[in-house]
Amino acid sequence: MTHLSVNLNKIGLLRNSRGRNYPNLMSMAERTLELGAFGITIHPRPDQRHATYQDAYDLKNLLQRFPDRELNIEGFPDSQFLSVVLEVEPDQCTLVPDDPNQLTSDHGWNVARDQDALRPVIAKLKEKGIRVVLFMDPEAENMTLAKEIGADRVELYTEAYANAYGKDGFEQVVEQYQQAAQAAIDAGLGVNAGHDLDLNNIEPLCRAGRVTEVSIGHALTIEALDLGWDNVVKAYLSKLA
């Protein structure tokens, strides 16, 4: 079984597009948890184009009512992000090496180059009891160092996996991700995965049982336009059971 953490960035994008609290991100989070999702993810970016720092505080309060579920806050560890996360104290923080003006996340950490910057950040988050995840490309050779600098888990960046789905060579890509996941496990890390996962491509990634949690938002929100939010969340839960 793989846990589903629903990323509500795109609900925040819709909300912010009219400057009113509609759709209500907290209501969508509550509804999603009541449907059985394990967690809620947001990725507040410096421009707060979708999820905001206030959403982090509000979601933390909401999650008090769901003690067996988790809040995952993703983002680049700049001073603003870190001060919010250290105050909110989510269950999990996923560090992502994004520049402020990036359209979306499009690469994992270069842990060899960034290790000196990451070590104290990871230590500070762990002092607060926050599980720390590093957003990583599926490269088995980097997992040992990710563990050495203090990460609890890695999140495999799955855009390449999603792009390969349905095409020649997909099985080789699946194998690369499974090898990276196994290398992470062998190094003592947990394995999360995310980015561009959807109802069609989710199962081959999770079938081997190495992935503890997937975080999904963009495709899930779009799929909900056709199928309805409740049906889509239930469909993911069924595929991940």
Ligand X SMILES: NCC(=O)COP(=O)(O)O
Phi, psi (deg, nearest 5) at residue 199: -65, -30
Is 74 in the active site?
yes
The residues facing 112 across adjacent strands are: none
Footprint of ligand DXP on this chain (CB under 6 A)?
7, 9, 43, 74, 96, 104-105, 135, 194-195, 215, 217-218
Smallest distance from ligand DXP to CB 49, Å: 7
104 marked as binding residue: yes
- The alpha carbon dihedral of 4, 183, 172, 160 has a sign of positive
The Cα–Cα gap between 169 and 165 comes to: 9
Tell me which H or E stretch contains 134: strand 131-136
What distance in Å separates the CA atoms of residue 99 and residue 45, rounded to the nearest whole number?
9
Q: Is 213 a catalytic residue?
A: no
Q: Is 107 among the catalytic positions?
A: no
CA geometry: angle 231, 235, 241, nearest 5 deg: 140
Residue type for 19, please?
G
- 32 makes contact, choosing from ligand X, ligand DXP, none, with CB < 5 to 8 Å by partner type, with none
Work out what residue 70 binds among ligand DXP, ligand X, none; the CB cut-off runs from 5 to 8 Å by kind. Answer: none
**119 annotated binding-site participant:** no
- Site string (63-102) toward ligand X, x via CB under 6 A: -----------x----------------------------
Shortest gap between Cβ of 74 and ligand X (angstroms)?
6
Q: How far apart are CA 202 and CA 178, in angstroms?
A: 13
Q: Which is nearer to ligand X, 149 or 202 (CB)?
A: 202
**Nearer CB in complex with ligand X: 178/201:** 201
Would you say 45 is a known binding-site residue? yes
Catalytic-role residue among 70, 155, 195, 213:
195
Burial class from Cβ neighbours inside 10 Å (0-12, 13-18, 19+) for residue 100 reads exposed
Site residues (CB under 6 A) for ligand X?
A: 7, 41, 74, 155, 194-197, 215-219
Enzyme catalytic residues? 43, 74, 195
